[in-house]
Chains A and B, each alone.
Chain A
Amino acid sequence: MSETLNRQEVVAARGVRVTFGAVKALDGADLVIHAGECVGLVGHNGAGKSTIVNVINGGLSPHEGSLRYSGNDVRGISAARANGVRCVFQELSLCPNLTVGENARIMHAELKGWNWRGRALALVETQLQDIFPGHAIDCDSTVDDLSIAERQMVEIAISFAGISAPPKLVILDEPTSSLDAGLAAQLMAYIRKFVSAGGSVLLISHILGEILSTSNRIVVMKDGRVVADRAASEFNNRSLVEAMGNVVREQELSRKAVAKSGAPVLSMPARRGHGHGQAKALPFEAYRGEMIGLAGLGGHGQTQALLDLYLARNSNWFPTKKRDIAFVAGDRSLNGTFPLWSILKNLSIASLDQLSSKRMIDGDREDALGEGWKKRIEIRTPDMGNRILSLSGGNQQKVLFARALATTAEIVLMDDPMRGVDIGTKQEVYEILRSEAANGRTFIWYSTEMDEIRLCDRVYVFREGAIVAELVGEEISEKSVLSASFAQGEAA
């Protein structure tokens, strides 16, 4: 039936559901892209943008729903590529040890046979010249020797290049994140040209100006669903931000006004971001007893800021005697738990110096600490001597919180620790955090979830590595955070 439409569907994903454990990444999302249109895709963290991109490019098989390329029901990366779907990922996906031409060989399996090197080089060079006229990239050099912006340009050029036929759909995930304004404008102009020649583009960007000026149609995602799908001309900056936000659910919170008293316990000078059209960066300050949120889109420098704050107080080489800062890791398996240890050992590792006398660990005191925290935060286990992996993810996370809170640290840094934790556990942890803050502890909390950001007394919004906005008390709302995380500038 799709063939009867006058505009052919390049990709049609309908009713797609993808779940990772308990988390619904996509909850019945529809995304149809026709030939000859540029679709802008926007949404806040965890809205499902990357997941739907992975479904379309074949890297992820949907658990439910239909996926058709030009009407054919096929699955897998090779099938997607065979149907002309190309993807430029947010993180660099070139091989840094190979030359530009060799990378083109890897991306384009058709480049085989005699003298493929010469043809690969010619292909990339003409394509680069097409998209970024006047560029100065030496296509013979290895990708390692190129700057970040040049790498991004090369990757875009390789994806747009066609050997036997031009690609039908190019997915661009934050393609301008390291390009300057001039290059970004060239790219946007090329996208418009490519689309008018019958190709289609799926554009994801945090710069709303680019989306508004380049796309024909804008799809807004939220919580794994498509919440708005209209022509770009019907949107403006404000209505786009509003569509991304959740206006219905407005939670009432009694936020106590914390007076900034005395000297800040932790501060950091304003740091320069890496983006173009950068707004003025703000310095960071934290006072005693505050709960400070670090907001913004994921990967815009929040984790780096936390690490810098931590390292500013702790030497890399010699552990300080009195630790006044604790860290709760976000990626449990990567840098949180010791998977082979018991729950108790996982909990007490950060406060061993309090628990030991004459450099030997006092087992009774350790047990008492474990029992105390087990009651306090309700770790659901019959025995604290069980392996940490016997706990559910949420309970593991509670142990990591207890690890930080059991120390004497005055400041606790949290790197999006609630990822993938169920709502009940979250509520319990919020309660503990509140009471600890009331006792004078300072919490600095990077979170990608709006509900958690709203719990904070003060919020810094990050964009492109710098703090671009500070929100206090009643100013903290989903709308204000969203509008600060997306650059408004009429880029391109």
Chain B
Amino acid sequence: MKISSGTIRLIIPAASLVLLLAAVFYMQPRAMSYNGLNLLFNLAVPIALATIAQMLIMSVNDLDLSMGTFVSFCACVAATLLQTSPALGILILLGAIATYAVIGVVIHLRELPSIVVTLGMSFVWGGLAVLILPSPGGTAPAFARWIMTAKPPLVPMAIVASILIAAVTHTIVMRSSFGVLMRGVGGNDRSVERAGWSVIGIRAGTYALAGLFAVLAGIALVGLTTSADANIALRYTLLSIAGVILGGGEFVGGKVSPIGAVIGALTLTLAGSFLSFMRISPDWQIGAQGAILIVVLALRLALNRLEKREKSQ
């Protein structure tokens, strides 16, 4: 049977996740339990959601550098206003999603580099987060807390949530008509335009969808940590980009994989735990995490080159 290039793309991230998991289990067999797995992957859920949001932006050849501050902002709103006056909280979050759509339109109409616009927006979101929650605190809304601490039978919540996120986004991005148009804009926006579609509309929709997933990431994060802080998710900007790339996505060309992105987010979270189990001091952990990333990406480049060589023969 012929394996499609999309499947080949998924092999490396899946294999690295399995390898890391095996190494963790080898070093700490007690992690191989319901509670162990839940603890290992708990923090992966908001990261996976943020990674999906970043992946949506990347599927139309853009990059969102405000992801971290935006998720922080959403977490702050969720820990304060969504808790105290739900109607206002929901309104603010909806407004944030609408703002994302507007950003998409502005980037398209003015032909601005998305990196510059989102970098600017990152300061806006950061400032708003501080205004809403000047010092760390707040309380998680009951529903978020309930979802994130639920204990489904057999499989821990973190795994169920990851699979659910992967399945839903796979349907949206890879199977639905909108997903096809969105990836079409990333692949060749001129041909989408020539076929009579509104590229502005597609881009606005994509950004809004990304905003929605980022909002969900913020709420999920608060559900886990029970309180928020304006700088709670700053790492998410780079983590989400790394997750997309690790999961087989590419910066340009509309080549993305939602399943891969979720796997990438899981791998990144696991890499942190793995290094702790290795007793590598936290000073070195970030560097070691980077090294893991480089190894996986080098593997993928090698595989791509191999594939290309085979094709040209």
Which residues of A approach B to under 8 Å, CB–CB?
57, 59, 77-78, 81, 87, 89, 93-98, 102-103, 105-109, 112, 116-117, 138, 140-142, 144-145
Contact = CB atoms under 8 A, between A and B. Distances in A.
Contacts of A81: 195-196
A138 B183 CA distance: 20
Contacts of B203: none
Contacts of A89: 194
Interface residues of B: mostly helix, strand, loop or mixed? helix
Q: 8 tightest CB-CB pairs across the interface, nearest first?
A: A95-B187, A93-B191, A97-B187, A78-B196, A97-B254, A95-B184, A95-B188, A102-B180
A144 B4 CA distance: 11
B177 to A, nearest CB: 6
Contact of A142 (B5, B195, B311): B5
A98 B191 contact: no
B184 A98 contact: yes
B76 interface: no
Contact of B180 (A87, A94, A105, A138): A105
B184 A93 contact: no
B186 interface: yes
A279 B191 CA distance: 34
Contact of B192 (A87, A96, A106): A106
Contacts of B192: 95, 106
B255 interface: yes
A273 B113 CA distance: 38
Nearest to A87: B194
Interface string B267-284: 000000000000000000
Given A98-B183, A105-B177, 4 more contacts: A95-B184, A97-B187, A105-B180, A141-B2
Contacts of A94: 188, 191
Contacts of A102: 180, 183-184
Contacts of A107: 191, 195
A282 B16 CA distance: 52
7 contacts: A95-B186, A98-B180, A98-B184, A107-B195, A109-B197, A141-B2, A142-B5
A106 B189 CA distance: 11
B77 to A, nearest CB: 35
A429 B197 CA distance: 45
Contacts of B254: 95, 97-98
A401 to B, nearest CB: 30
A117 B180 CA distance: 11
B190 A93 contact: yes
Contacts of A97: 183, 186-187, 253-255
Nearest to B180: A102
B194 A95 contact: no
Contacts of A105: 177, 180
Interface magnitude class on chain B: 20 to 34
Contacts of B195: 81, 106-109
Looking at A95, A102, A107, A141, which has the most chain B CB atoms within 10 Å of its CB?
Answer: A95
A140 B311 CA distance: 17
A94 B181 CA distance: 12
A87 B183 CA distance: 22
B197 A106 contact: yes
Given A96-B188, A112-B177, A77 B193 contact: yes
B6 interface: yes
B140 to A, nearest CB: 39
Interface string B183-225: 1101110111111110000000000000000000000000000
Contacts of A116: 177
B187 to A, nearest CB: 3
B146 to A, nearest CB: 35
B184 A106 contact: yes
A96 B4 contact: no
A227 B177 CA distance: 46
Given A105-B177, A142-B6, A96 B183 contact: no
A106 B5 contact: no
B194 A77 contact: yes
A109 B2 CA distance: 30
Interface in B165-189: 175, 177, 180-181, 183-184, 186-188
Contact of A95 (B5, B6, B175, B191): B191
Given A95-B188, A106-B191, A141 B197 contact: no
B183 A95 contact: yes
Contacts of A140: 4
A101 to B, nearest CB: 9
Nearest to B192: A106
A145 B195 CA distance: 22
Contacts of B184: 95, 98, 102-103, 106
A103 B191 CA distance: 10
A98 B187 contact: yes
A97 B193 CA distance: 16
A59 to B, nearest CB: 7
A353 to B, nearest CB: 34
A217 B184 CA distance: 37
A144 B307 CA distance: 12
Contacts of B191: 93-95, 106-107
A423 to B, nearest CB: 33
A59 B194 contact: yes
Contacts of B6: 142
Contacts of B255: 97
A54 to B, nearest CB: 10
A106 B181 contact: yes
B2 to A, nearest CB: 7
Given A105-B177, A142-B4, A145-B5, A96 B187 contact: yes
Contacts of A142: 4-6
Nearest to A80: B196
A116 B187 CA distance: 20
Interface string B225-248: 000000000000000000000000
A144 B253 CA distance: 11
A167 B183 CA distance: 26
A94 B184 CA distance: 9
A103 B5 CA distance: 17
A77 B196 CA distance: 6
Contacts of B197: 106, 109
